[in-house]
Amino acid sequence: MRATLSDDQRESAIAWFEKGLADTAAARLLGVSRWPVKSLYRRWKSMVKERR
C-alpha cells in the first residue's frame, strides 16, 4: 500500500518547507511517515530550483 498525504497535509508541509523546515521535521509535525513527505520535499525542491 502506498502512503499518501491529504491535500491539507501537503499544503502544510509545503508551507513548512518554505519556512526552512526539511522533510523529517515536517513529517514529525504532521504526525506521518517521513517517506511521503520526503517524496513531496524532493519534488518541491526541484520546482523551486527550476524557478530560479
Task: Compute the distance between CA of residue 36 and CA of residue 10 in angstroms, rounded to an integer.
Answer: 10
Which DSSP letter does residue 31 get?
Answer: T
Arithmetic mean of pLDDT, 3-31:
95
Residues 6+ apart with CB under 8 A from 36: 3, 4, 5, 27
Task: Provide the pLDDT for residue 3.
Answer: 65
The grid cell for 31 is 504526525
Task: Check if the beta carbon of residue 36 is closer than 8 Å to that of residue 3.
Answer: yes
Task: Compute the distance between CA of residue 52 and CA of residue 34 in angstroms, rounded to an integer.
Answer: 27
- Residue range 34-52, pLDDT digits in tens: 999 999 999 999 998 888 7
One-letter amino acid of 6: S
